[in-house]
Structure 1
Amino acid sequence: MKTIASNILTLLLLACSFCFSQNSIPYGSNNGKYISINGAQLYYEEYGQGAPLLAIHGGLSTIKDLAPVIADLSTKFRVIAVDCPGQGRSEQADSLSYQLLADYFSKMIDQMKLDSVYVFGHSDGGNAALLLAADRPDKVKKTAAFAAASHTSGYYPEAIAGLDQLTPEDIEKDFKWWLEPHLEKTPQKAQWQQFVKDFSGMCATPLIVPEEKLRKIRSSVLIVQGDNDIVKPEHAVELHRAIANSQLCIVPAASHFILYERPELFNVMITEFFTKEPALFDWTQLGN
């Protein structure tokens, strides 16, 4: 079962490698800055001008993997792309959970004195983005969550098999594609084993976003995923129904890697969501 998860994540690596062969900007290694949150140094990079847009990558990932989003959205927004705690160039936190990620980003918004933000999150980053939207209605204007889930039952079991039981030994054997670049960037090379344990523990927690938090979200939310994603389409519908002011887009013939498969389409959807209000049909006018 762990091999299945390893194969899926390896596909992510290959997709990202293809993307970066097409892009000359070294995202994730491009003269970023550090901000101290709860004693940990978080690394981030900024691109473009305009309204702030916080970009949150997925699990076992970094700023680099958001290249297709950053490149396009930075022409319209001030994109703030951050390496999550323990990943990329950011230091580890004392523990790891989706709520911890949301708390860190909340404090980051305050320390950077941002009046308000748009938020984009991919996969694990989408889970944290939903929690952030629930916790900070005073700051988060709109949230686009791609392949997010509120409970591990929302994933296809075979898609995430083994992630909740990863050990450092598994990483050294099957995840060298992650470990080697991780050790090149992390400021805490001797602590990667602890990060793996913390990450696996986060994946093992069934409840990701409590229903009461979903119902607390008052800002606009776009739920996006591919029809061949690791998240079940019916779970995306559940999220849409639980979040009052939400929109739902299930992209046909698309997987968990739509950022790399169809970046033009994906970025048009995200940009229109952040910049335009939906034209809702007035059903009361039928028959008039």
Structure 2
Amino acid sequence: MKAFIFSILVCWAAVAHAQIRYGSNPAVGKRIQVGDISMYYETYGKGEPLILLHGGYGSIETMGGMIAAFSKKYQVLAVDSRSQGRTTDSDAKELTYAQMALDVNGLMDLLQIKKAKFVGWSDGGDIALELALIHPEKMDKAVIMGANFLGESKGVALTMDTTWKMNSTDPLFAKTRKPLAQYFSTYERLAPDKTKIAASKKKVADNAFNNPNISLVQLNSIQVPFLVMAGDHDMFTIDHTIALYKNLPRASLYIVPDATHISPFEEPELVHSEILRYLAKPYRKLDALYFWR
């Protein structure tokens, strides 16, 4: 009887967890004024702080799988970036990753978070790189997925067909169709000011085209440990990803097989387990020939 009751409780807990509306959860969602924007964020779990940064045009809800996986071990702070999700836009004419990194730093100061681990997907990874340049003392370790250190105008991205236009007969299409449909309707559903949607989308697009502009010298100055992740068919060229890895002095590399720019949707178990493995262990700089000595 006890075993039966326990099984019911486990099932009930699993269902309750699955019904959490990440990114639209009034039980944990909060707002805080950071400079000229009202930033929306949600907090889950207990333990060491882990800050999640979503991709361009997205929101906290695109990171729902990660929140569920990571909040079992960390206190996960998921944020909506400037001009995206439920965070407001400003009257500024342009948007940059450097500004969004300053927003994250401001949020940490207001919440009295001295240091945290970071996981950034796509644009979120670019924000993490910018933060490592201006406030490395705030970062313990960082994981970046599908990130770039030069804007798309520099020819670092492949054609969009590689990632976003999937063959309807591909089994991955059924797996990713729902989260992608949700992703592409984010602004229409969540934007706090619907009159600014067009302007906000243009800012995000212009930012991705022109930014970031991080030099190799700057990358080489970063001492924060980074795990550079990408799908082997990511929208950013593998050469660009390798250059990012090679020029971060304390970097590790993980290429997700048979995956695109949306590897957390395509291979969530693989991506989540690797991130947790990396974050759990101390950084160790390896020498390729150490075992011969």
Normalised-by-shorter TM-score class: 0.7 to 0.9
- What's the % identity of the aligned pairs? 28
Structure 2 counterpart of 1:61, from 54, 58, 62: 58
Specify every segment of 5 or more residues in structure 1 that has no aligned partner in the other structure, as ranges: 1-21, 162-174
Specify every segment of 5 or more residues in structure 2 that has no aligned partner in the other structure, as ranges: 1-16, 164-179
User: What RMSD over aligned residues (CA atoms) do the two structures have, in Å?
Assistant: 2.3
Deviation at residue 200 of structure 1 after TM alignment? 2.3
1:134 has 2:133 as partner: yes
Matching residue's letter, 1:225:
A
1:30 has 2:25 as partner: yes
Deviation at residue 196 of structure 1 after TM alignment? 2.0
Structure 1 counterpart of 2:156, from 146, 151, 154: 154
1:47 has 2:44 as partner: yes
TM-score (norm 1): 0.81
Q: Select between 207-216 and 50-59 the one with higher mean Cα deviation.
A: 207-216
**Aligned residues of 2:57 and 2:187 also touching (Cα < 8 A):** no
Deviation at residue 281 of structure 1 after TM alignment? 5.7
Matching residue's letter, 2:238:
P
Classify 1:195/1:282 alpha carbon distance in 2 versus 1 (closer, same or farther; 3 Å): closer
Deviation at residue 206 of structure 1 after TM alignment? 5.2
Matches of 2:184 and 2:138, distance apart in 1 = 35
**Aligned residues of 1:58 and 1:122 also touching (Cα < 8 A):** yes
Deviation at residue 220 of structure 1 after TM alignment? 0.5
In the alignment of these two chains, the number of paired residues is: 253
Give every structure 1 segment of 4 or more consecutive aligned residues whose post-TM-superposition deviation is greater than 3 Å.
157-161, 175-181, 278-282
Q: Which residue of 2 aligns with 1:12?
A: none
Matching residue's letter, 1:156:
L
Classify 1:109/1:196 alpha carbon distance in 2 versus 1 (closer, same or farther; 3 Å): same
TM-score (norm 2): 0.80
Q: Which residue of 1 aligns with 2:144?
A: 145
Q: Select between 240-249 and 205-214 the one with higher mean Cα deviation.
A: 205-214
Matching residue's letter, 2:40:
Y
Deviations 1:199-231 (A, max 9, x none): 222122154433333122111100001101111
Matches of 1:65 and 1:177, distance apart in 2 = 8
**Aligned residues of 1:131 and 1:213 also touching (Cα < 8 A):** no
SS in 2 for 1:149: coil
